[in-house]
Amino acid sequence: MIDLTQLRREPDVVKTALGRRGVAATLIDHVIALDVEHRRLLQEAERLRAEIKDLSRQVGDARRSKDTDTAEALTLRSRELGESERQASEATDEVASNLRNELLLLPNLPSEDTPDGADENDNVEVRRWWVGMDEGAPFPTYEPHQRLYHWDVAKELNILDLEAGVKLAGSMFPLYRGDGSRLLRAFGAFALDQHRDAYEEIRPPSFALTETMMSTGHLPKSQDDMYAIERDDLWAIPTAEVPLTSMRRGEILDEAELPLRMTAQTACFRREAGSAGRDTRGLLRVHEFDKVELFAYCTPEQAPAAHADILARAEALLQAFGLTYRVLDLCAGDLGTSSARTVDLEVFSPGVDRWLEVSSVSWFRDFQARRANVRFRSAEGTAFVHTVNGSALAWARIWAAVIETNRQADGSVKIPDCLVPYMGGQTHLVARK
């Protein structure tokens, strides 16, 4: 959540920053008013408690002096104040709860480097990359055999069975088979190996407590997009960001530990509420997919380098796969709730003739750390860590883009060279009986 101290000290700065995200100033004023009321009620409850404590001392003095009448009068007054203190404490708790709920719904302040804009149409394209670009090769064109939908190519090769997925779990739950499954596994194994030099590999649970989901900002804002197991107060994780962010929840880290980097491949579950009939063919939008996540706890000073490192690693994977991609700097109006700055990577997939988002690399400042209460200790005292994360990469759309981009004239699909060792030396996907 945002820094309440900053809101008190610099309300106009916060209003201007959140105004870039479309948050009305009146909403900020409402939060400020709740904070003022909460502090007033808190002071009143503390004043009443202090008065009751003093009355208790006076009652004791009166009883020791055998002044029964005074002791009874003071006791009666103490009871009356006790009721007032109880009411004041209840009111304080109610306003505190309302204040917290409002703060949980406020998005993060966008960074100064984040472009202005209202929605995805205002995102800024930073650069593009394609095979041979450095040698002067023009932006690629694609042959007719590359212009087939990946679900049609996959059906020919018998490596994706969408009908079986529907039969087992409903629509938008894909089932990979044969070499399609093996290719998916190869993506993850290759990526995790590429990150071993600096990131500790973690295998977290696929489910998270409500508190864990709150820490990243996925709750309460995105509740409708999550899969809930209400009986056990658990949620299917939408990304490994969720458990990684809470790995050190409630702890104070030593500054010498930072940056603390972790990576994890997990299944990711998203309900995609409201997506029915939109991009639901093939693997463009699915309820379950595998993804490798990169994550770092860091100091504010380390955050830019941590963000750049994750972005560079994601780009390096796309280049290793030989996929054409572009880099987008997301505008303030298109940022996720918790993000201060996000850079997206989109690959071009010729069969569907579209750019497909495959990675979001985000810096959250201390927004998530405040929710998770993760701090670090330095010579100046303690402060909240900054968190940075990004996908490297989300495999469903990468799988689709490779199938379409690498389809050969004979109907086979060339496996990216970097994945051949992970495919047992196999160089092409071919139709098998």
Q: How far apart are CA 162 and CA 172, in angstroms?
A: 8
DSSP conformation letters of 43-112: HHHHHHHHHHHHHHHHHHHHHHTT-HHHHHHHHHHHHHHHHHHHHHHHHHHHHHHHHHHHHHHSPPPPPT
- DSSP assignment of 1-44: ---HHHHHH-HHHHHHHHHTTT--HHHHHHHHHHHHHHHHHHHH
Q: Which entry of 51, 156, 272, 357 is annotated as an active-site residue?
A: 357
Based on the residue annotation, tell me whether 278 is a catalytic residue of this protein.
Answer: no
User: Is 360 an annotated catalytic residue?
Assistant: yes
Tokens 């093996």 identify what position? 182
- 248, 261, 285, 407: the catalytic one is 285
Roughly what angle, to the nearest 10 degrees, separates helices 25-64 and 68-105?
160
Using the 8-state DSSP alphabet, how is residue 148 labeled? S
Query: Is 51 in the active site?
Result: no
- Length of the chain, please? 433
- The residue among 362, 361, 388 whose CA lies nearest residue 374 is 388
Q: What are phi and psi of 355, to 5 degrees?
A: -85, 130
Q: Is the CA virtual torsion 296, 301, 307, 309 positive or negative?
A: negative
- Judge whether 285 counts as a catalytic residue: yes
Rounded-to-integer distance, Cα 179 and Cα 158, Å:
9
Residue (of 301, 319, 314, 215) closest to 263 by Cα position:
314
List the alpha helices (DSSP H) in 195-348: 210-216, 241-245, 303-321
In sequence order, the β-bridge partners of residue 201 are 263
Q: Which residue among the candidates 248, 313, 397, 407 is catalytic per the annotation?
A: 397
- 124, 328 contact by CB (below 8 A): yes
Q: Exactly one of 270, 341, 371, 375 is catalytic; which is it?
A: 270
- In the residue annotation, 257 being an active-site residue is answered as no
Is 296 in contact with 310 (CB distance < 8 Å)? Answer: yes
User: How far is 343 from 114, CA to CA, in rounded Å?
Assistant: 9
Distances in Å between the Cα of 307 and the Cα atoms of 133, 259, 299, 327 are 25, 11, 12, 14
Q: Which of 201, 397, 398, 408 has the alpha carbon at shortest distance from 319?
A: 398
261: amino acid identity, one letter: R
Any residues with CB less than 8 A from the CB of 142 and at least 6 apart, and which? 350, 405
Active site residue: 78, 246, 349, 360, which one? 360
The catalytic site residues sit at 270, 285, 357, 360, 397
